[in-house]
Chains A and B, each alone.
Chain A
Amino acid sequence: TQLLEQSPQFLSIQEGENLTVYCNSSSVFSSLQWYRQEPGEGPVLLVTVVTGGEVKKLKRLTFQFGDARKDSSLHITAAQPGDTGLYLCAGPSGKITQGGSEKLVFGKGTKLTVNP
């Protein structure tokens, strides 16, 4: 099963600062998804990246998929308290189950706190 390592594990910053969090693997992924999870809620999809070198923007969030499709990053510009949450990356496991399906594996997440 392909593994995803996320860093940093925790990040606490002041409002207005910029930050980057990373999702790395030694394996090639056909696609990667980024989710944000707020306390007491389920994860919500932010973006899916599928092409090596792809850059996607979502307001102040910029997502990049590495050229070799082994890593991805999320950059937040001028962070706001509303950006606080657990950021998770997820990708296909690389293994087909007995049921003929491929599961999605998640990294352990980066817990971001943006202080006012």
Chain B
Amino acid sequence: DTAVSQTPKYLVTQMGNDKSIKCEQNLGHDTMYWYKQDSKKFLKIMFSYNNKELIINETVPNRFSPKSPDKAHLNLHINSLELGDSAVYFCASSQGGTRSPLHFGNGTRLTVT
């Protein structure tokens, strides 16, 4: 019974394409996140939603657009993919606040060729 699930696990695509990554959590958490982990394993927050409202929006290209249809789902759409977008993208959820543990999905490895 996966707590935070994201699909797909792997995504290989060409430059210029548009792609989406989906995330769902069944923990009843109000807050969901997208993190990007680069090739050096550095984990950096991109976006956070609390009950469908955007609360953290880091400096990422506007080609990246998150969407939260309800508090259990947070999707990430990426337009006009570039080589530098290649990374592992993690969805996470928590009860909110910086002391609440983050529950991560298993990541989506995006490779742009």
Q: How many A-B residue pairs have CB under 8 A?
A: 74
Cβ contacts under 8 Å, B58 to chain A: 103
> In the bound complex, do residue A42 and residue B107 qualify as a contact, i.e. CB atoms below 8 Å apart?
yes
Q: Is B81 an interface residue (CB 8 A)?
A: no
CB-based nearest B residue for A50: B99
Q: Is A67 an interface residue (CB 8 A)?
A: no
Q: Is A44 an interface residue (CB 8 A)?
A: yes
The CB with the most chain A CB atoms within 10 A, among B40, B56, B58, B96, is that of B56
Cβ contacts under 8 Å, A99 to chain B: 48, 50, 53-57
A89-116 CB contact bits vs B (8 Å, 1 = yes)?
Answer: 0111100011111111110110100000
Q: Is B28 an interface residue (CB 8 A)?
A: no
Instruction: Give the CA-CA distance A28 to B96 in the complex, in Å.
Output: 21
Cβ contacts under 8 Å, A104 to chain B: 45, 98, 102
| Contact status of A88 and B43, CB under 8 A, knowing A42-B105, A103-B56 | yes
Cβ contacts under 8 Å, B102 to chain A: 33, 35, 43, 45, 90, 104
In the complex, 16 of the A-B residue pairs with CB atoms within 8 angstroms, ordered by the A residue number, are A30-B99, A31-B98, A33-B101, A35-B102, A40-B107, A42-B90, A42-B106, A43-B43, A43-B104, A91-B98, A92-B98, A98-B57, A99-B57, A100-B55, A109-B41, A109-B42
Instruction: Give the CA-CA distance A105 to B33 in the complex, in Å.
Output: 13
Interface residues in B24-41 (C-beta closer than 8 Å to A) = 40-41
Interface residues in A26-53 (C-beta closer than 8 Å to B) = 30-31, 33, 35, 37, 40-45, 48, 50
Instruction: Give the CA-CA distance A92 to B48 in the complex, in Å.
Output: 14
Instruction: Give the CA-CA distance A91 to B45 in the complex, in Å.
Output: 13
- Closest chain B CB from A97 CB (angstroms): 5
> In the bound complex, do residue B41 and residue A108 qualify as a contact, i.e. CB atoms below 8 Å apart?
yes
- Closest chain A CB from B10 CB (angstroms): 10
